[in-house]
Amino acid sequence: MSDYLSVSALTKYIKYKFDQDPHLQSILLKGELSNFKKHSSGHLYFNVKDKESVISAMMFKGSASNLNFEPKEGDEVLLEARVSVYERRGNYQIYVNKMQLDGIGNLYQKLEQLKKKLSKEGYFDNSNKKAIPRFPHKIAVLTAGTGAAIRDIHSTINSRFPLVEQIQINTLVQGEKAKDDIIEKIQYADSLGVDTIIVGRGGGSIEDLWNFNEEEVVKAIFNCQTPIISAVGHETDFTLSDFVADVRAATPTQAAVIATPDQFDLMEQIKQYQFTLTRFIKKYIDQQQKHVDYLSSYYKFKQPSLLYDQQIQRRDDLEKRLNQNILNTLEQQRHKLLLTQQRFSLKDLQYNVHDKAQSNDQLKEQLIKILNNKVMSYQNELKYKVENLNNLSPTNTMLRGYAIINKNDKVITSTKDLNVDDNMTLTMKDGTVDAKVTKVRCNDD
């Protein structure tokens, strides 16, 4: 029995062989992601397959955090990984260190990142879109000088609205120098004073159309003051120029349709307007004719003097009343003026002034007498109060032979406040005397 290996021992040996093989420590692998899952721990678990084989794979959280895109089911990827064995299941799998999108996937990744960035900055907001003029005078067409796109645009415009002037601006739409040329031609077209600019080209792969995804081209379209119609690629093709343009056309032909009215539709509208206007004018003339016929049958129009006889007489009456009112008003104002003159005669005014002056002198004399009496009364009252204050003054009392006794800076008014041997000060009219108590005699003793 000792010759038999356990499953775990065999698995460990196989894992050891895988881990020791330098050719399996760093391999470059390409394939399609399937059964993709992102664990709550941040680790990624998925399969990598091609048309014939499938291999299990995982990517630790640390490596996954360095990815510059979000992997998803069906992505074609390029991997850098090592091959090892997962002992618990006995399966071999790869541990991915690096992952990137394969080829065209990188372009789509770059496109999505740039689209999110420009959208966040407001380049695609509908509030920035300009209206396409309904009846343009000039249209600038920016596309390659040869090819189906320019032929479709010109033929469509000529058939729909031949009155418009078409300005063909040959533009590189593919290749390394196309980006700068597109920007330059947009700025040039914007300076021409045209009503609408069509920027377009035929369909192609994402690489062929990539110049219309460049950030500088998007900003050039955004900053253009002239309305722009984007017609890049076929109906299923989308570029960032389509999102920033004022209008996106599915094809160059549709761009020409959007930019111009249809002359045949306009002719039909004109005919309809003409028919409607003619019918309206005829109806209006019939109504006015009936009104004229009605007025012409009125009896006063048959004898026109009836229209103004009464008015002439009424005018004369009003003129007579107006003149009489003017005379009455003048007489009333004249009477009022006479009364005013009588009330404000000079003699009466002088008499009133003299009378008011005498009355003022009398009031002045009365006021002086009242003030003198008040002053004399206040003087007598003040004299009386001064005499009373003087009689009550301690100084006046001392002049009559009295003295003020102080003990410890306190005035003594009773023998009960003194004791034998107390020191005291006698304040008299002409000075002070320091004294000492030798005996105290109270009237109650």
* pLDDT confidence of residue 445: 59
* Bigger pLDDT: 351 vs 31: 31
pLDDT at 346 exceeding the cut of 80: no
Same domain for 17 and 35? yes
103 pLDDT band (50/70/90 cuts)? low
Report the CATH number that the domain containing residue 223 is assigned in CATH: 3.40.50.2300
* Bigger pLDDT: 253 vs 204: 253
Residue 77 is assigned to a structural domain of this protein: yes
- Ramachandran angles phi, psi of 139, nearest 5°: -130, 130
User: d(Cα 222, Cα 13) in Å, to the nearest integer?
Assistant: 64
Give Cα 423 distance to the centre of its chain: 95
* pLDDT confidence of residue 106: 63
Average pLDDT in the 417-428 region?
Answer: 84
Residue with tokens 């390409």: 30
Total number of residues shown for the chain: 445
Residue 236 is assigned to a structural domain of this protein: yes
Count of structural domains within the chain: 4
Q: Which residues contact 118 (CB under 8 A, 6 or more apart)?
A: 124, 215, 218, 240, 243, 244
Average pLDDT in the 244-253 region?
Answer: 90
Same domain for 254 and 275? no
Domain range for 28 is 7-101
Decide if 202 contacts 233 (C-beta within 8 A). yes
pLDDT at 85 exceeding the cut of 70: yes
Residue 90 is assigned to a structural domain of this protein: yes
Residue 185 is assigned to a structural domain of this protein: yes
Q: Which two tokens stand for residue 387?
A: 């005499």
Decide if 218 contacts 118 (C-beta within 8 A). yes
Average pLDDT in the 67-82 region?
Answer: 86
Q: Is 216 left (phi over 0), alpha (psi -120 to 50) or beta?
A: alpha
Same domain for 256 and 281? no
Same domain for 146 and 49? no
347 pLDDT band (50/70/90 cuts)? low
pLDDT tens, position by position, 181-226: 999 999 999 999 999 999 988 877 777 788 888 999 999 999 999 9
pLDDT tens, position by position, 284-325: 999 999 888 887 777 666 676 666 777 777 887 888 899 999
Q: What DSSP assignment string belongs to 303-341? A: STHHHHHHHHHHHHHHHHHHHHHHHHHHHHHHHHHHHHH
Lowest-confidence segment of 116-125, 139-148, 235-244, 395-404 by average pLDDT: 395-404
pLDDT at 350 exceeding the cut of 90: no
Same domain for 137 and 253? yes
Decide if 245 contacts 118 (C-beta within 8 A). no
Lowest-confidence segment of 117-121, 327-331, 397-401, 426-430 by average pLDDT: 397-401
Lowest-confidence segment of 81-90, 113-122, 334-343, 363-372 by average pLDDT: 334-343
Residue 351 is assigned to a structural domain of this protein: no
Same domain for 253 and 285? no
Average pLDDT, the chain: 86
Residue 285 is assigned to a structural domain of this protein: yes
Average pLDDT in the 436-444 region?
Answer: 80
Report the CATH number that the domain containing residue 19 is assigned in CATH: 2.40.50.140
Q: Which residues contact 25 (CB under 8 A, 6 or more apart)?
A: 19, 82, 83
Q: What DSSP assignment string belongs to 375-439? A: HHHHHHHHHHHHHHHHHT-HHHHHHTT--EEEETTEE--SGGG--TT-EEEEEETTEEEEEE-S-
pLDDT at 236 exceeding the cut of 90: no
Decide if 143 contacts 153 (C-beta within 8 A). yes
pLDDT tens, position by position, 118-163: 889 999 899 999 999 999 999 999 998 787 888 889 999 999 999 9
* pLDDT confidence of residue 76: 84
